[in-house]
């Protein structure tokens, strides 16, 4: 998977939220084989000395700061700038949320923020609705990848609109497309990959599994399997049977 000229051998990007413990997170990260993890930017609590969460992440991991929790382009841009200053990375996962119940993205604010951040030299990875026209606008704005949702964040519903992802893949063959949000289990990730995604980003599906490390392994394998199936090119679907054995020479 290539993002802004950088090669990642793993097609899985995972979050760092919702784990029951840092140890559980670390073992899930290891099992997943992911090379990139997302982190959120928040105010430092001033009333207690807080140890740095980043110390619990393997130094080998590429950290991808996100703008989770932002509801305006302005807040997202400020958050991205702070993250860049602290982490010295130009990567940012852009999220501008439009609604608290669905956590659906505000595409208009997302595009506005993307344009500003690209101009400032960020490598922008935007979360957005699975919409081809919006994907085109984000790519035209200079985003390094497109990250359409599969389903609402944290819902675990899996890919709700496979046609949209397929259309996006067919119409934007050169874009790096990472399905972001809504995956619930391994088959969901495999389906996203079979539709032509270059990668999948997930958090809750692993963190809320009964055994996150096992689910992380399952996701890793599903993404590899789904990718192989996509590259292999699946057989056409038929309504009726088609025998695999020769029809001639059957004993009578």
Partner 1 sequence: MRVHVNGDSTEVTGGTTLADLITQLDLPAPRIAIELNREVVRRSDWGSTMLKDEDRIEIVHFVGGGKN
Judged by the rule CB under 8 A, the positions of this chain that interact with partner 1 are 14-19, 25, 38-44, 46, 49-54, 63, 65-66, 68-69, 78-79, 81-83, 85-87, 95, 97, 103, 127, 153-154, 180-181, 201-204, 207
Q: Considering the complex, state which of residue 66 and residue 176 has its C-beta at the smaller distance from partner 1.
A: 66
Shortest distance, position 201 Cβ to partner 1, whole Å: 8
Tell how strand 12-14 and strand 62-66 pair up.
unpaired
Residue 250's H or E segment, with its range, is none
How far is residue 16 from each of residues 45, 66, 114, 204, measured CA to CA in Å?
Answer: 19, 11, 23, 9
Instruction: Kindly tell me which of 79 and 107 has the beta carbon lying closer to partner 1.
Output: 79
Q: In what order do the strands lie in the sheet with 12-14?
A: 12-14, 199-202, 178-180
Cβ of 195: how many Cβ atoms within 10 Å?
22
Tell me if residue 237 is catalytic: no
User: In 67-118, at which residue ranges do the beta strands (DSSP E only) sit?
Assistant: 91-94
CB of 47 to partner 1, least distance (A): 9
Residue with tokens 């703008």: 67
Shortest gap between Cβ of 3 and partner 1 (angstroms)? 18
Nearer to partner 1, 85 or 174 (CB): 85
Q: How far is the CB of 127 from partner 1 (least distance, A)?
A: 7
Nearer to partner 1, 154 or 196 (CB): 154
Query: Cβ of residue 250: shortest distance to partner 1, in angstroms?
Result: 56
**Residue (69 or 142) nearer to partner 1, CB:** 69
Cα of 18 vs its chain's centroid, Å: 16
Taking the C-alpha atoms of residue 48 and residue 6, their distance in angstroms, rounded to an integer, is 39
Q: How far apart are CA 83 and CA 12, in angstroms?
A: 22
**How far is residue 34 CA from its own chain's centroid?**
11
> Of 93, 119, 137, 220, which is the active-site residue?
93
Active site (catalytic) residues = 93
């Amino acid at each position: 998977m290539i993002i802004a000229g950088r090669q990642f051998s793993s097609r899985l990007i995972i979050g760092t939220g919702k784990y029951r413990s840092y140890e559980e997170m670390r073992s899930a990260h290891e099992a997943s084989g992911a090379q990139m993890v997302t982190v959120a930017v928040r105010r430092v609590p001033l009333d207690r000395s807080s140890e740095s969460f980043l110390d619990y992440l393997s130094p080998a991991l590429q950290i991808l700061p996100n703008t989770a929790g932002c509801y305006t382009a302005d807040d997202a841009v400020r958050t991205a700038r702070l993250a860049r200053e602290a982490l010295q990375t130009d990567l940012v996962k852009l999220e501008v949320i439009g609604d608290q119940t669905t956590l659906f993205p505000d595409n208009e604010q997302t595009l506005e923020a993307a344009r500003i951040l690209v101009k400032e030299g960020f490598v922008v990875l935007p979360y957005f609705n699975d919409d081809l026209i919006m994907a085109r606008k984000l790519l035209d704005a200079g985003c390094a990848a497109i990250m359409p949702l599969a389903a609402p964040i944290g819902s675990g519903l899996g890919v709700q609109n496979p046609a949209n992802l397929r259309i996006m893949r067919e119409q934007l063959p050169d874009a790096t497309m990472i399905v972001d949000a809504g995956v619930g289990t391994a088959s969901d990730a495999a389906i996203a990959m079979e539709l032509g995604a270059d990668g999948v980003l997930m958090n809750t599906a692993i963190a809320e599994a009964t055994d996150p490390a096992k689910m992380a392994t399952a996701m890793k394998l599903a993404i590899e399997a789904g990718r192989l199936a996509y590259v292999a090119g699946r057989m056409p679907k038929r309504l009726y049977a088609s025998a695999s054995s020769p029809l001639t020479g059957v004993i009578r």
